[in-house]
């Protein structure tokens, strides 16, 4: 049986100095946003805000300076992430590029790709989406069928990607295609590509509205779309190995337990300085979970900083973190029973309304709860 390695980690002094700088920045910048621009989770998309963060050096923080990065530590990056999330800053315009597309190119991209894509990402000028799932391939990602056939100078792509968040707002989608069909070996023959969402002929992006009427999902349809050779990331056929590495980047961060923090803060306002017993017990329980999850998430960041691959630990944090953030609207409902509201009502009621409707997605995105528990079970030696 594998054992977990959650060692308590203390942030170095430079990280705490940085924290104060980020707070000062957010105190100045966030009030300038209209209330519609201030998200209730990390889904808010605001390129102008991302550029301001970039100007402070807070995108691509850990990357080499030669690519526009700042060569700071994973722990310093962690501080920027958790401060922006806790304050409800609109970070999604740069989130995917900073979290996974950039690191993927650093690890598997060509020198030319790094020089071309990484510097504009660190300036907040280039945004990325993720093209993985397909209509018939969700959790069973290796069964994707979108075909990239070799043609002179590149590939001809046919098929459909789905649940591509912000494809309509992004510049590129790092997409997984089948470049070779290997009978009975679905994990082989996959490759990743940098697809230019603005200039690729043969691509159609259609919105998919979520249950609350919001538009972040899209369907991206490819019909004889030409993708040049130099857009392939890594070797032809290495896509599966790369994509599992990329998903590792996606699973360990503070976004996996802080999605409902706004509702916890509104709850504190709602119950007042001298709450009743039930409210106090709930607040205390939420605080205990928040504090523990933060320590676990920090511990994973420290493992990354030490050059380890804490895939098992990251899956554990995402599993219990998303379960926690998903549970918060339910617990608040059980305590207060206020009607969740859309655009009218108090901040508390609107935040509740937003989170009640969005919470189901918390344990779906980035790998479902069932898939994560399968990964953990494998780590335990059960499969």
Q: Which residues are catalytic?
A: 250
Residue 130's DSSP bridge partners are 174
Query: Minimum distance between the CB of residue 81 and other proteins, rounded to whole angstroms?
Result: 12
Residue 184 lies near other proteins (rule: CB under 8 A): no
Considering the complex, state which of residue 178 and residue 294 has its C-beta at the smaller distance from other proteins.
294
Residue 235 lies near other proteins (rule: CB under 8 A): no
Helix, coil or strand: residue 93: helix
Q: Hey, what are 226's tokens?
A: 């030409």
Q: Hey, what are 97's tokens?
A: 């590029």
Residue 320 lies near other proteins (rule: CB under 8 A): yes
Stretch of 36-44, 112-120, 328-336, 371-379 lying at the interface with other proteins (CB under 8 A): 371-379
Considering the complex, state which of residue 144 and residue 264 has its C-beta at the smaller distance from other proteins.
264
- In order of 42, 108, 140, 239, the CA distances from 251 in angstroms are 15, 19, 17, 19
Query: Minimum distance between the CB of residue 89 and other proteins, rounded to whole angstroms?
Result: 13
- Whose tokens are 């961060």? That residue is 253
Query: Minimum distance between the CB of residue 351 and other proteins, rounded to whole angstroms?
Result: 12
Stretch of 99-107, 261-269, 303-311, 351-359 lying at the interface with other proteins (CB under 8 A): 261-269
Helices (H), the chain: 13-29, 47-55, 74-86, 92-96, 102-108, 111-122, 239-250, 261-271, 277-305, 311-336, 347-358, 369-379
Number of residues that bind other proteins (CB under 8 A): 54
Residue 246 lies near other proteins (rule: CB under 8 A): no
Query: Minimum distance between the CB of residue 374 and other proteins, rounded to whole angstroms?
Result: 7
Backbone angles phi, psi at 159, to 5 degrees: 150, -170
Residue 364 lies near other proteins (rule: CB under 8 A): no
Q: Which of residues 12-41 bind other proteins (CB under 8 A)?
A: 19
The set of residues, in sequence order, having a beta carbon less than 8 Å from that of 5 and lying 6+ positions away, is 303, 310, 313
Residue 275 lies near other proteins (rule: CB under 8 A): yes
Query: Do residues 234 and 181 lie in contact, with contact meaning Cβ atoms separated by under 8 Å?
Result: no
Residue 161's DSSP bridge partners are 220
Residue 266 lies near other proteins (rule: CB under 8 A): yes
Considering the complex, state which of residue 96 and residue 328 has its C-beta at the smaller distance from other proteins.
328
Helix, coil or strand: residue 204: strand
Contact with other proteins (CB under 8 A): which of 299, 311, 326, 363?
299
């Amino acid at each position: 049986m594998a054992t977990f390695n959650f060692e308590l980690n203390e942030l170095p002094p430079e990280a705490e100095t940085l924290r104060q700088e980020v707070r000062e920045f957010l105190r100045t910048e966030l009030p300038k946003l209209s209330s519609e621009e201030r998200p209730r989770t990390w889904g808010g998309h605001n390129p102008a805000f991302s550029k301001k963060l970039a100007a402070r050096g807070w995108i691509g923080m850990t990357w080499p300076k030669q690519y526009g990065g700042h060569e700071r530590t994973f722990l310093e990056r962690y501080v920027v992430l958790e401060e922006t999330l806790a304050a409800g800053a609109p970070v999604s315009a740069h989130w995917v590029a900073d979290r996974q597309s950039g690191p993927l190119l650093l690890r598997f991209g060509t020198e030319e790709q790094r020089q071309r894509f990484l510097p504009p990402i660190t300036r907040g000028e280039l945004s990325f989406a993720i093209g993985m799932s397909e209509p018939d391939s969700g959790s069973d990602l290796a069964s994707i069928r979108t075909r990239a056939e070799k043609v002179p100078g590149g590939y001809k792509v046919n098929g459909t990607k789905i649940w591509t968040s912000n494809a309509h707002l992004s510049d590129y989608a790092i997409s997984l295609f089948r470049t070779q069909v290997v009978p009975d070996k679905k994990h082989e023959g996959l490759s990743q590509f940098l697809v230019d969402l603005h200039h690729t002929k043969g691509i159609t992006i259609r919105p998919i509205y979520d249950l609350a009427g919001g538009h972040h999902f899209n369907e991206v349809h490819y019909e004889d779309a030409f993708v040049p050779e130099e857009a392939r990331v890594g070797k032809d056929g290495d896509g599966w190995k790369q994509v599992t590495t990329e998903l590792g980047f996606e699973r360990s961060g503070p976004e996996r337990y802080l999605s409902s923090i706004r509702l916890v803060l509104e709850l504190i306002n709602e119950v007042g300085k001298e709450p009743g017993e039930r409210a106090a017990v709930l607040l205390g329980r939420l605080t205990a979970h928040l504090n523990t999850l933060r320590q676990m998430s920090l511990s994973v960041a420290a493992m990354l900083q030490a050059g380890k691959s804490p895939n098992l630990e990251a899956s554990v944090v995402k599993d219990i973190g998303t379960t926690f953030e998903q549970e918060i609207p339910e617990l608040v409902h059980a305590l207060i029973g206020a009607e969740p509201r859309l655009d009218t009502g108090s901040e508390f009621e609107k935040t509740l309304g937003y989170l009640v409707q969005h919470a189901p997605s918390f344990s779906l995105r980035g790998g479902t709860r069932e898939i994560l528990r399968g990964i953990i079970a494998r780590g335990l030696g059960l499969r």
